[in-house]
């Protein structure tokens, strides 16, 4: 896709959202079904993923870990955003790799220590790009990818999450 094709694709949407801001407010949804044993099947839109316990909490390693899925979502979103940004500003990226690593202290999630937090203590996102970029282009890609990546922004800003239980 060229920069022009991307602009042509997005221009009517941007105009519509400027004129009708309420139309731009869309609720994304994820759904899962309680599976057998200690697992949950999540439909991703393209496949069915069965999530279960991480081996560090007693899982077999045969089911997807939700922590891994969070990092995978970050990598996927960052990769798509990077490509879109590069296309929009006319920067060629031949290829590359995006990696996310997160540090967890499983004592928290297992209730072993009240001092150990539940959740990631730190997440690192790295890009190894096959591209001939000036320092300025690389800085622009970094700034714009961070700015427009939905998953990245959600993680760094944090958002209120409401829960409800129905029986």
Q: What is the DSSP letter of 10?
A: H
16-37 pLDDT, tens digit each: 999 998 988 887 777 778 777 7
40 in a domain, yes or no?
yes
CATH number assigned to the domain comprising residue 18: 3.30.300.20
| Domain of 36, in residue numbers | 3-157
17 in a domain, yes or no?
yes
> Do residues 91 and 38 lie in contact, with contact meaning Cβ atoms separated by under 8 Å?
no
16 in a domain, yes or no?
yes
Q: Average pLDDT of the chain?
A: 90
Residue 38 has pLDDT above 70, yes or no: no
137 in a domain, yes or no?
yes
71 in a domain, yes or no?
yes
Q: How many domains does the chain fold into?
A: 1
166 in a domain, yes or no?
no
CA distance 98 to 54: 23
164 in a domain, yes or no?
no
């Amino acid at each position: 896709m060229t920069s022009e094709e991307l602009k042509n694709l997005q221009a009517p949407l941007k105009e519509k959202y400027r004129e009708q801001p309420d139309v731009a407010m869309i609720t994304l949804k994820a759904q899962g079904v309680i599976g057998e044993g200690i697992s949950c099947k999540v439909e991703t839109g393209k496949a069915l993923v069965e999530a279960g316990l991480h081996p560090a909490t007693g899982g077999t390693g045969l089911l997807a870990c939700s922590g891994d899925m969070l990092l995978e979502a970050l990598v996927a979103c960052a990769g798509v955003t990077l490509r879109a940004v590069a296309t929009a500003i006319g920067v060629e990226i031949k290829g590359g790799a995006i990696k996310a690593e997160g540090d967890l202290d499983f004592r928290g999630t297992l209730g072993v220590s009240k001092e150990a937090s539940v959740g990631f203590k730190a997440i690192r996102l790295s890009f190894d790009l096959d591209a001939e970029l000036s320092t300025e282009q690389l800085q622009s890609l970094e700034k714009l990818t961070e700015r427009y990546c939905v998953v990245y922004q959600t993680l760094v800003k944090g958002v209120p999450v409401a829960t409800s239980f129905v029986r």
